[in-house]
Chain A
């Protein structure tokens, strides 16, 4: 059974600092990895996608993937209060149009 694990938090970070969100997955065959942001009562919105080992940067966001350790992370630089949300890690084993497996999400709070 595919599992995606995240620390539920809440993770509290001062405004302007770096927020670090972590995720581990159980399916070694996983090929696609995504980070979604979800505000309360809203549907998830895609923040980052990553497919190969290493770092991928997009603005204030950096996704990191280590397939050997089955670990993916999201760094948010210069955290803003508007970044306060639940961040969902999602994994797709690939090989077809398969639904994503989501972690329970980490609740991030950026303190002004």
Chain B
């Protein structure tokens, strides 16, 4: 199947700092990538849809100024958590699909811990 690479896998940072997470599609071009967040023992919650060359579409309740998404190329999307706080500590996962309405391939996820 398609490969989606995500890093870093784990980040520990101080409150108030910004953290950038990268998501790359290694063997295919992804015009659309998705960013999910998962709290312990909870489901994956879609945060935003990242579209190459245009602004991301954010889900209701997700602050676009706090979670900056850049999809500058067909193989790279980045999520920057700005001024991170302890409540932002979570497992962040990116994903992409080969075709619209098709299965998603997930990156390995990033465990963010904000102290």
A residues in contact (CB < 8 Å) with B: 31-32, 34, 41-46, 49, 88, 90, 92, 94-105
Chain A residues contacting B97 (CB-CB under 8 Å) are 97
Minimum Cβ distance to chain A for residue B5 (Å): 11
Size band of the interface chain B makes with A: 20 to 34
- 19 A-B pairs with CB atoms under 8 Å apart are A32-B101, A32-B102, A34-B103, A43-B93, A43-B107, A43-B109, A46-B1, A46-B103, A46-B104, A46-B105, A88-B43, A88-B44, A94-B101, A97-B32, A97-B100, A99-B46, A99-B49, A104-B42, A104-B43
Q: Judging by beta carbons under 8 Å apart, are B34 and A99 in contact?
A: yes
Chain B residues contacting A43 (CB-CB under 8 Å) are 6, 93, 106-109
- Interface of A (DSSP majority class): loop
B residues in contact (CB < 8 Å) with A: 1, 6, 31-32, 34, 36, 42-46, 49, 91, 93, 97, 100-109, 111
Return the contact of A100 from the options B32, B46, B91, B108 (Cβ within 8 A).
B46
Chain A residues contacting B31 (CB-CB under 8 Å) are 97
Q: Judging by beta carbons under 8 Å apart, are A96 and B93 in contact?
A: no
Q: Judging by beta carbons under 8 Å apart, are B100 and A96 in contact?
A: yes
Kindly report which residue of chain A lies nearest to residue B46, judged by CB atoms: A99
Chain B residues contacting A94 (CB-CB under 8 Å) are 101
Chain A residues contacting B6 (CB-CB under 8 Å) are 43
**A24 to B104 CA separation, bound complex (whole angstroms):** 20
**A44 to B77 CA separation, bound complex (whole angstroms):** 19
| Given A32-B102, A97-B101, 19 further pairs, Cβ under 8 A | A32-B103, A41-B91, A42-B109, A43-B93, A43-B108, A43-B109, A44-B44, A46-B1, A88-B44, A94-B101, A95-B101, A97-B31, A97-B32, A97-B49, A98-B49, A99-B49, A100-B34, A100-B104, A102-B45
